[in-house]
Amino acid sequence: MIIRNLMRGDCDYIGIMIMRKIAVALSLLALTVAVEAQNAGPKKSSTINKTSSSKKAAHRLRVMEWNVENLFDCEDDKEKEDEEFLPDAQRHWSKKRYWKKLTDMGKVIASMADDQLPDIIGLCEVENRQCLHDLCNRGMIKSLKYEYVMTNSRDHRGIDVALMWLPSQFRLCNYSSVRIPSEELKLSPTRDILYAKGFARAIADTLHIFVVHLPSKRGGADAKRHRQLAAKTLWHKVDSVRKSSRQAVIVMGDFNSREKEQIIRQSPLKRLKPKGNRATYCYQGIWENIDHILVSETLRGEAHVLALSWLIERDKKSGEGRPRRTYAGPRYKGGVSDHLPLVADVSL
């Protein structure tokens, strides 16, 4: 019909028909996008509800702490002992597995979008800035525009701590690494503490942040002394900040210490106890709180463990739940981490 009218020179008729076809096509496209967004959940960055999150962020600051279990890239760093996380090593760490881990991490962060996205994220066990770049700028949360910094410590394995934040909610002023004087105990270097200072929109004030990953309990008495030295260094730095100002302080990380141990009890800050006394880590079938978020007396808040169902698996022998980790020894399990994320909402 269009061809016949074109031969008659009926240009008006052609224009009407074309406009109708365009209108129908746009309507179908809009409907398709809406349906896909409804069904996709947190799987695609385009569906993350940033508007909802930004409105609620004006009233509270959401902080997330997470040990992400050996987030290594697939490249060999000659200065670090990262050989076990290479494609030809026993673990067969590949780009496919690397990107799956990053995608799953993005899903965890995006899962909070309908309530409130984390404004500030502290991560433990990150190899380098490339991992953060891939997570923030190439992964499924790239539309959120998280910014980041991290330490570059002397830890022989090359795993460090990192800080991510939404630039609309936190403006970084400066940051530095706090080195643990391990040589005083004639021990191998451990991970640095990350210190950051910036302006937090939710509290309309300066915020001091510390991200830590204290030495593990492996190694008996030496490991305990090392962990105590790292904690002493941390609390000394926190005290120096608190003495110089009354500004808010948040400390978060993997302390490798339960809440009733001396390292936590000697803290000058108050620990935010997770709702329901939920724990983040399971060792030999026993759940433990070794990840902590602590705040200064100027802040109040509530914490909870982000226990998403797909982050947890059932032990075949005991039937009890535990975090679905990436590796169990050299065996690949396909999970995200052996720790669950810890989340806190804080305000003045």
Q: How far is CA 96 from CA 92, 99, 183, 266, 273, in A?
A: 10, 5, 39, 43, 37
Which residues fall within 8 angstroms of residue 270, CB to CB, at 6 or more apart?
Answer: 294, 295, 296, 297
Are the beta carbons of 57 and 94 closer than 8 angstroms?
Answer: no
pLDDT at 245: 87
pLDDT at 44: 44
Q: How far is CA 114 from CA 147, 221, 282, in A?
A: 21, 46, 28
pLDDT at 177: 98
**CA atoms of 228 and 248, how far apart (whole Å):** 24
pLDDT at 117: 97
Q: Looking at the whole model, is its pTM more than 0.75?
A: yes
Which residues fall within 8 angstroms of residue 330, CB to CB, at 6 or more apart?
Answer: 90, 91
SS3 of 195, please? strand
SS3 letters for the chain? CHHHHHHHCCHHHHHHHHHHHHHHHHHHHHHHHHHHHHHHHHHCHHHCCHHHHHHHHCCCEEEEEEEEEEECCCCCCCCCCCHHHCCCCCCCCCHHHHHHHHHHHHHHHHCCCCCCCCCEEEEEEECCHHHHHHHHHHCCCHHHCCEEEECCCCCCCCCEEEEEECCCCEEEEEEEEECCCHHHHCCCCCCCEEEEEEEECCCCEEEEEEEEECCCCCCHHHHHHHHHHHHHHHHHHHHHHHHHCCCEEEEEEECCCCCCCHHHHCCCCEECCEHHHCCCEEECCEEECCEEEEECCCCEEEEEECCCHHHEEECCCCCCEEECCCEECCEECCCCCCECCEEEEEEC
- The pLDDT tens digits along the chain (348 residues) read 443 343 334 434 334 444 544 443 444 344 333 333 333 333 444 457 665 555 554 579 999 999 999 999 999 999 999 999 999 999 999 999 999 999 999 999 999 999 999 999 999 999 999 999 999 999 889 999 999 999 999 999 999 999 999 999 999 999 999 999 999 889 999 999 999 999 999 999 999 999 999 999 988 899 999 999 999 999 999 999 999 888 999 999 999 999 999 999 999 999 999 998 899 999 989 999 999 999 999 999 999 999 999 999 998 777 789 999 999 999 999 999 999 999 999 998
pLDDT at 53: 54
pLDDT at 7: 39
Q: Which two tokens stand for residue 172?
A: 């970084």
**CA atoms of 206 and 246, how far apart (whole Å):** 10
If one counts every other C-beta atom within 10 angstroms of the C-beta of residue 133, the result is 13
Q: Which domains does the chain have, with CATH numbers?
A: 2-38 (no CATH), 44-347 (3.60.10.10)
**CA atoms of 13 and 271, how far apart (whole Å):** 73
Q: How far is CA 86 from CA 202, 304, 323, in A?
A: 42, 35, 24
- Work out the burial of residue 302: count CB atoms within 10 Å of its CB; fewer than 13 is exposed, 13-18 middle, 19 or more buried: middle
